[in-house]
Amino acid sequence: MKAPKIILVHNHPSGDATPSEQDIEYTNYLYNATTMLGVQLVDHLVIGNKRYTSIFSKMISEREGKK
């Protein structure tokens, strides 16, 4: 059995690796779409100035902050 998984990566030309609200919305949309297709979206990374940010980690920390 194959287990399809993907990791998305994109850069911010400004060099700021902070995910935008649009990045987070897009990640949620893609997560729902890939789940329906049986594909696991492992993470979505934003890179800039030799740094990266995990959108999944940011989403998790924001959810924990709302508790």
CA nearest neighbour of 57 among 44, 41, 39: 44
Q: What is the largest CA-CA distance in the chain?
A: 41
**What domain count does the chain have?**
1
CATH number where 24 lies: 3.40.140.10
Asked if pLDDT for residue 67 goes beyond 70, the answer is no
Tokens read off for 30: 């893609």
Asked if pLDDT for residue 21 goes beyond 60, the answer is yes
Residue 6, pLDDT score: 95
Show the CA angle centred on residue 8, arms to residues 36 and 59, nearest 5°: 75
Q: What percent of the chain has pLDDT over 70?
A: 87
| 36-55 average pLDDT score | 94
The whole domain housing 30 covers 5-65
